[in-house]
Structure 1
Amino acid sequence: MNTTKNRVLLVDGMALLFRAFYATAMSGYFMVNSKGVPTNGVYGFVKHLFTAVNTYKPSHVVACWDMGSKTFRTELFDGYKANRGEPPVELIPQFDLVKDVAAALDIPNVGLAGYEADDCIGTLANLYKEDSEVLILTGDQDILQLIEENVHVVLLKKGYGNYAMYKEDSFIEEKGITPKQMVDLKALMGDSSDNYPGVKGIGEKTALNLLKKYETIEGILDNLPALTKAQRAKIEQDLDMLHLSRKLAKIHCEVDVVCELDSAVYQINETRMNEKFKELEFKNLHSLIK
């Protein structure tokens, strides 16, 4: 049983920003303020953040960010996330603005060029889990691989305040594999949103069955003769891509980032927050502070 008093909320900043932006952008609503700056994504980010804080009552909060589209993964594989277009013009000014708002709420912003927010989250989760309960707030299922005894994932569902909370036992019960096996699962089946193929012709069902039986990619490769002829042929044909896909799928938890817990205590300076909200012409967010 967890007797630690710290509860650290690691926020996948881009996941919240994009979700909030597209929720209103679909209807053409960008909340442009009197300076001509669109703020719908930032406003929704704050609303998601406050709602999660009210729900999970963290003692500490850290926001992690992607720092540009070039990472070690794009160097490994040209096609990585190459299916994603340029961000909409209304979103671009909100990338810096959302970090300013997080800073105004005294929430540390963490990111490192060459890595994704997930890698920073994984690194910090490893750092904090010894003495704290870690909650990761995201909309991205890739991060489920980080779940362990003291690290839980809160997945955003549609709307505000709707979450799927994953702990180690609930994950295993639902998926039939351990969180660590998620990496090998994605290596086998690929990931269409991140645009890497895995093994052509092997979908989630087959990949899950193979991992339940043989546990790891090494276990599967050691037992190739026991596979069906078709499965064996597909894996042998795409062996290089299988290994590459695993490197792309695995969250790198040894990134050169650090954030002292003392600097992440969740304690809003209301004067500073109100000044920032006034500058951005945000209304109705104060009522979410509890």
Structure 2
Amino acid sequence: MQETNNRRVLLVDGMAILFRAFYATSYTGYIRKTSAGLPTNAVYGFIQYFFDAINTFKPTHVICCWDMGSKTFRTEQFADYKGNRGEAPLELIPQFDLVKEVVEQMGIQNVGVVGFEADDCIGTLATQLSGEAEVYVLTGDHDMLQLVSETVKVVIMKKGKLNYAVYDLALLLEEKQLSPSQVIDLKGFMGDTSDNYPGVKGIGEKTALKLILEYQSIEGVLLNLDKLPKGVRSKIEADLDMLHLSRDLATIRLNAPVRCDLSACTWQIQVEAATRKFEELEFGGLVKLLEGHPTFNLDLFSV
């Protein structure tokens, strides 16, 4: 493994943070808007969450990753994938493009690939960059725990301000009893109601975890079907195709067609451009967040 030279990359799961910000600031029914009527509550909250993470984890490099529409290779594999999700709230829709504009004006790389999810971009970039830097993934999505490694930590945003669970291999094993690859196999058995794929019908989280802990993997379970209770065995045998499909749907791709060199994502706030954008959106109270952030000399982090 290469020396990381104190480089720390923060990979931001943009859509997860934006949705979190929208619901955290709209539950009372009040939606922040500009004087022209443009909804901005999610973007406003996103910026607050973003700088909380910057101040907490002090990255030298930052990238924001985004979904690029609902159609991906997963919906081609399984038409009902995420098919249970309704339309986004009307007030949130104009903020999808707006937040990317704000991120760009701050001087941060926006990354997304049509046909892939933000998760796949994050997984791919984490894999590419982890030899050169320590990688932190900022998200609220527990599926990302499969990306944990010696050089990749997954930061799960919990309820409340500045409340993070920072998963490394040790915490993942201690808290979830799982290795990163077992996070995927667990989803193969139990499915995912949020993403709308079923796993093995009749097997829930408790049974799935018991199987993984006893036999280590889906392959281990299948090699020992004769040792399982008849009811569990028959459920698995009846749903073998869906078991394998569900595991594939749960697997974050590490080879998405995306690349970002470290030199292109140095954390170097563009104060003037960001200030103009904040003032345009009537975010005057957030301008102070732009002050006092270190700017990194690229020569110190040669790539």
Same fold (TM over 0.5): yes
1:76 equivalent in alignment to 2:77: yes
Whether the aligned pair in 2 keeps the contact of 1:29 and 1:40 (CA below 8 Å) is no
Distance 1:143 1:259 in 2: 20
Distance 2:213 2:125 in 1: 30
Report the CA distance between 1:287 and its aligned residue.
Answer: 3.1
Report the CA distance between 1:119 and its aligned residue.
Answer: 0.1
Whether the aligned pair in 1 keeps the contact of 2:154 and 2:168 (CA below 8 Å) is yes
1:243 is matched with 244
2:220 is matched with 219
DSSP 3-state at the match of 1:286: helix
1:39 is matched with 40
1:189 equivalent in alignment to 2:199: no
1:63 is matched with 64
CA-to-aligned-CA distance 1:211-261 (integer Å, 9 cap, x gap): 111111111111100001011011001111101101100001100001111
One-letter amino acid matched to 1:264: C
Q: How does 1:102-251 map to 2 (within 5 A)?
A: 102-251=103-252
Distance 2:239 2:163 in 1: 39
2:100 is matched with 99
Distance 2:116 2:61 in 1: 23
1:90 is matched with 91
DSSP 3-state at the match of 2:8: strand
One-letter amino acid matched to 2:86: G
Distance 2:125 2:46 in 1: 21
Whether the aligned pair in 2 keeps the contact of 1:15 and 1:140 (CA below 8 Å) is yes
One-letter amino acid matched to 1:193: S
Whether the aligned pair in 1 keeps the contact of 2:4 and 2:131 (CA below 8 Å) is no
Distance 1:39 1:150 in 2: 36
TM-score normalised according to structure 1 size: 0.98
Report the CA distance between 1:207 and its aligned residue.
Answer: 1.0
One-letter amino acid matched to 2:181: K
Distance 2:32 2:161 in 1: 18
Report the CA distance between 1:27 and its aligned residue.
Answer: 1.2
DSSP 3-state at the match of 1:36: coil
In structure 2, stretches of 5+ residues that fail to align are 293-303
Report the CA distance between 1:285 and its aligned residue.
Answer: 1.5
Return 211-220 or 181-190, whichever deviates more: 211-220
Give the RMSD, CA atoms, in angstroms.
1.2
Whether the aligned pair in 2 keeps the contact of 1:73 and 1:248 (CA below 8 Å) is yes
Report the CA distance between 1:204 and its aligned residue.
Answer: 1.2
2:255 is matched with 254
Report the CA distance between 1:3 and its aligned residue.
Answer: 5.9
Whether the aligned pair in 2 keeps the contact of 1:51 and 1:288 (CA below 8 Å) is no
In structure 1, stretches of 5+ residues that fail to align are none
DSSP 3-state at the match of 1:11: strand
1:10 is matched with 11
- Large movers: runs of 4+ above 6 Å: none
Q: Give the aligned length.
A: 290
